[in-house]
Amino acid sequence: AGELPHLTDADPTAKAMNYIEDATASKSALYRTGSICANCQFYHGPDVGYGTCQLFPGKAVNAKGWCSSYTTQKA
């Protein structure tokens, strides 16, 4: 996953899902504190750095990113 290009906020697919690469710095009204890729069920990767997301094949998402498809990990 480390070799994949990073998904950016400017990516059209990312925009469609309101992806933000650094959710911790987000002012988005949609974003809820603590909901980040690292604890999303679609994320696979390290808690810090970049990993993969099933919804963005071929790209690496930021562990501290977020998008509107965020889904909490199963209990």
Residues forming the site for ligand SF4 (CB under 6 A): 19, 37, 40, 42-43, 53, 55, 61, 65-67, 69-70
Residue that is written with structure tokens 């994320």 in the block: 43
* Cβ neighbours, 10 Å, residue 64: 19
> Cα(22)–Cα(36) distance, rounded to whole angstroms?
9
Question: What is the nearest approach in angstroms of ligand SF4 to the Cβ of residue 56?
Answer: 6
Question: What is the nearest approach in angstroms of ligand SF4 to the Cβ of residue 9?
Answer: 11
Question: What is the nearest approach in angstroms of ligand SF4 to the Cβ of residue 20?
Answer: 9
> Cα(28)–Cα(65) distance, rounded to whole angstroms?
12
Residue (3 or 62) nearer to ligand SF4, CB: 62
